[in-house]
Structure 1
């Protein structure tokens, strides 16, 4: 029919136009009809795998567990330090509750893992006490780093909350905690950011975790849409063309603007990220958030690794190569790199190597060298324990 043919042509044009401008046309998101719980970063089968390995004294899980339990985050005498308003300026200056909030969230997650692995209720009770302390007090995040701070802490809280709510009996204030996530955290992260890519990626990790805990399909879909647009704009592949992709609304409409946004780097190769020439610390934040987001959606039945996996694999391998000491060529970041990738490779390496069978020599060497990993004191914690060689 003529009308049908016209509609098909218009649809094709709508897809091609953003691609021609270098932006990414994302497929439709798909929130699950029924959410899987616990289902933020770790699932029950993953947790059962870890518990079995720790109980058997198998490595590297037992060593990773021992490191976690010896950390201050696992302390049963920890005193949470909630604030009504957490104020975080650039590079956390000023720092009014920023470190306290992030570390209390990591502690709640740590104690939740300890509860599941040991079966000792005192760890669950302590995790609940920390989450209750914050949900009773916090009202807002302010100053220039508020979106990033909310993303970091908001990525960790749902991991803890999912484990406790769905594996432990007795959390009277769980609804209040959910209200905290919905009213204090979600509005700060769900609309994303046009700042450096690690900002929006961390914010979307928080948004997807919160959406799962709240069973909020609308927010889940919005987070997936932004994630699908941001990942191709953060990690370059040669198939992208002469220059990296950009996100809608970024304003990066010339090559000069794109090169400036990519820290002055004008030669683009597989695995280069938008922040490689800034430093590997922030690059690590971006890579970690990408892997964590994909892991959560995989648990929820939406496997994004097929879509973003090659970018993740290339980014891990590219950064790992130089982190391991490969000389930096003159065309890359002016011949000098600021290293320090952090404990961020386990989730992506496990997904792409253990589950999907990709050879990742540099990433494997770096991952094994860093085991057992701890925490970056922001939003990454105990990835060797939860994801090393985990087939679940």
Structure 2
């Protein structure tokens, strides 16, 4: 048997065993995922990964040097940025109306961008600006409203703890209002995301990314376990594998029980193949949101010492490969979304590719081609930012 075939088979067996253990480890089927003590900084990027990134940039090595230059030139890294907080952020469908939605998301990304700039350069002005932005929002915001409130909270709530983790645990200049920021995450963000959503899968996956990151920052083991349990129920319902049977799995509590209901939920797609996602036939942009959130939660779990890649890695690998093939220009067959795809996957492949190919050694030819073609990966202006800088070839 060829080496890559044996690797794939072993990963599939490991994923099955890990899933069974997660389901039956406790009488309730809840995931007991939280570590005894959380690792900080530990949301998406670890201290080792940050050290690797800083060393590569300072050595002038590519693609990290170019990726940092892209970050430094972006408006998110501006030391003259003024935050635009508000007490109520109102977001309707597709952020219409947009009453603070874009401002909140972009300020959260800016805080993370500035935190990365601080770590790479050790210029304290960046850390102070990140703190200024986080303090501005924690002093004002009270709630999110309208139909997109859960998703908006997930988007911004994914970026805030990344920034806060880096600043709190690597900057020794002090952050007087760190407690107020933590209270904001606990009272404004966590309740909005922790119970998930039965909307399209990218919603719940993004919300669980936010819940996991917030739980790490708050050292909240109960919320972390609850979020991981919901995450592990959603991933198999978002990415199909042939081993699932004739139909995709459904998320616990989804209410989907018939073939017609499942096909409708999968955008009318009635033929299923490895790596197809619940939103592939909607568009690749929303699919990218879901895949990005999966990779982010898995990466955070690895840093926290409770690695979820054995449970979700094969699905993520297949999905990245499937979407990359068509994003690179392959012509879709007639049975796939009626032969028409809406492309635009976004800068979302770097984290999963690094974990599954670079760390674990699994072949991912199309994903590799797409990832390297898109370097340096920038931001999607929602919750993804600078992943070539932080994760290209980074095994820390």
Q: 3-state DSSP class of the match of 1:267?
A: coil
Q: 3-state DSSP class of the match of 2:295?
A: helix
Q: How does 1:186-201 map to 2 (within 5 A)?
A: 186-201=190-205
Match of 1:160 among 160, 163, 169: 163
1:249 to partner: Cα distance: 1.1
What residue in structure 2 maps to residue 120 of structure 1? 123
Q: How does 1:157-236 map to 2 (within 5 A)?
A: 157-169=160-172, 170-236=174-240
Indicate whether 1:293 and 2:293 are aligned: no
Q: How does 1:59-208 map to 2 (within 5 A)?
A: 59-169=62-172, 170-208=174-212
Give the Cα separation in 2 of the matches to 1:373 and 1:190: 29
Q: 3-state DSSP class of the match of 2:272?
A: coil
What residue in structure 2 maps to residue 7 of structure 1? none
1:26 to partner: Cα distance: 5.6
Indicate whether 1:309 and 2:307 are aligned: no
Match of 2:33 among 26, 30, 43: 30
Match of 1:50 among 48, 53, 56: 53
Q: How does 1:211-360 map to 2 (within 5 A)?
A: 211-360=215-364
1:247 to partner: Cα distance: 1.1
Give the Cα separation in 2 of the matches to 1:89 and 1:179: 26
What residue in structure 2 maps to residue 373 of structure 1? 377
Query: After superposition, what is the alpha-carbon deviation per residue over 1:146-166, rounded to whole angstroms, capped at 9, x for unaligned?
Result: 000000000000000000000
Q: 3-state DSSP class of the match of 1:246?
A: coil
With normalisation by structure 2, the TM-score equals 0.93
Q: 3-state DSSP class of the match of 1:188?
A: helix
Q: 3-state DSSP class of the match of 1:31?
A: coil
1:28 to partner: Cα distance: 2.9
CA contact (8 A) 1:64 1:384 kept: yes
Moved over 4 A (4+): none
Query: After superposition, what is the alpha-carbon deviation per residue over 1:225-250, rounded to whole angstroms, capped at 9, x for unaligned?
Result: 00000000000000000000001111
1:29 to partner: Cα distance: 2.3
1:391 to partner: Cα distance: 1.1
CA contact (8 A) 1:26 1:229 kept: no
With normalisation by structure 1, the TM-score equals 0.94
1:133 to partner: Cα distance: 0.1
Count residues with an aligned counterpart: 371
Give the Cα separation in 1 of the matches to 2:202 and 2:133: 27
Indicate whether 1:391 and 2:395 are aligned: yes
Give the Cα separation in 1 of the matches to 2:163 and 2:31: 29
Query: After superposition, what is the alpha-carbon deviation per residue over 1:75-134, rounded to whole angstroms, capped at 9, x for unaligned?
Result: 000000000000000000000000000000000000000000000100000000000000
Q: Which runs of 5+ in 1 are unaligned?
A: 1-14, 20-24
1:30 to partner: Cα distance: 2.1
Q: 3-state DSSP class of the match of 2:144?
A: strand
CA contact (8 A) 1:211 1:220 kept: yes
